[in-house]
């Protein structure tokens, strides 16, 4: 068999198996399907990650319809990107999944779905354990596509009333009436930003007052009102660019 250790990896797989140099990593039918879709073959260089910063590089040594085996040659620990946390509204399912995908590509540290009062009028909306599993699957696929090494932490769904900010975090409530997000971030100093995106139709005045009383600072991205998934991605991109 001809070895191709010097070839650039052509795909990344997220897995729960132990990653270590010299290990023969056997993955199941989902990974095998992914490999076939990407037209991979025995000898191709690939990567695998546990989603918690460990990245392994190796090559495919066996590919069947039901399994994929990778010979791991090297492993390395990838530093976690500067933490950016996202609190997304319970809203339209497909648009929430799209936001989860793009947030993963941009390296958010955590995701939490938040029920606003206006969330209850949305149908079909993304909520419950089954939907959380879909979010997790979409995030894994996004990590594989982007070649990253860190999956966001999935926090339990919560209500607006129970939403909290950590001791070393800065709550940023996206609101067209707020100050520029750049100014808000600069005033937050070294605190980890937690971006809260409101639902379609906006955050109700009573909710906004409650959040302000809990130290969530309003911040705007544009002079117009953005759809929640646009606002979420734009805010994360601004914060990620400022952290590089």
pLDDT digits (tens, 9 = 90+) for 40-73: 999 999 999 999 999 999 999 999 999 999 999 9
Is residue 5 pLDDT above 70, yes or no? Answer: no
Cβ atoms of residues 120 and 165 within 8 Å: no
**72, β-bridge pairs:** 58
CATH superfamily membership of 12-77: Hypothetical PUA domain-like; domain 1 (2.40.240.20)
Task: Indicate the pTM of the whole model.
Answer: 0.91
Tell me how far apart the terminal alpha carbons of the chain are, to the nearest angstrom. 42
What residue ranges do the domains of the chain occupy? 12-77, 85-243
Helical pair 93-105 and 228-243, crossing angle rounded to 10 deg: 10
Q: What is the CATH topology of the domain spanning 85-243?
A: Alpha/beta knot (3.40.1280)
pLDDT digits (tens, 9 = 90+) for 164-185: 999 999 999 999 989 999 899 8
Q: How far is residue 116's CA from residue 97's CA, in Å, rounded to a whole number? A: 18
């Amino acid at each position: 068999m001809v070895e191709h250790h010097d070839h650039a990896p052509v795909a990344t797989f997220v897995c729960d198996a132990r990653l270590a140099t010299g290990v023969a990593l056997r993955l199941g039918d989902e990974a095998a399907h992914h490999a076939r879709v990407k037209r991979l073959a025995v000898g191709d260089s690939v990567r695998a990650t546990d989603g918690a910063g460990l990245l392994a590089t190796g090559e495919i040594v066996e590919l069947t319809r039901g399994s994929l085996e990778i010979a791991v040659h090297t492993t390395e620990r990838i530093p976690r990107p500067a933490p950016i946390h996202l609190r997304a509204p319970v809203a339209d399912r497909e648009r929430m999944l799209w936001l989860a995908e793009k947030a993963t590509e941009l390296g958010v540290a955590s995701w939490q779905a938040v029920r606003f009062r206006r969330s209850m009028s949305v149908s079909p909306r993304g909520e419950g354990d089954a939907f959380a599993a879909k979010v997790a699957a979409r995030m894994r696929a996004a990590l594989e596509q982007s070649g990253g090494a860190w999956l966001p932490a999935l926090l339990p769904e919560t209500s607006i009333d129970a939403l909290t900010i950590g001791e070393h975090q800065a709550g940023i409530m996206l609101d067209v009436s707020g100050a520029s997000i750049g100014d808000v971030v600069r005033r937050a100093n070294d605190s980890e930003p937690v971006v809260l995106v409101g639902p379609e139709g906006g955050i109700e005045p009573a909710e906004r007052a409650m959040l302000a009383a809990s130290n969530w600072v309003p911040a705007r991205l544009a002079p117009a009102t953005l759809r929640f998934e646009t606002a979420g991605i734009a805010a994360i991109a601004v914060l990620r660019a400022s952290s590089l």
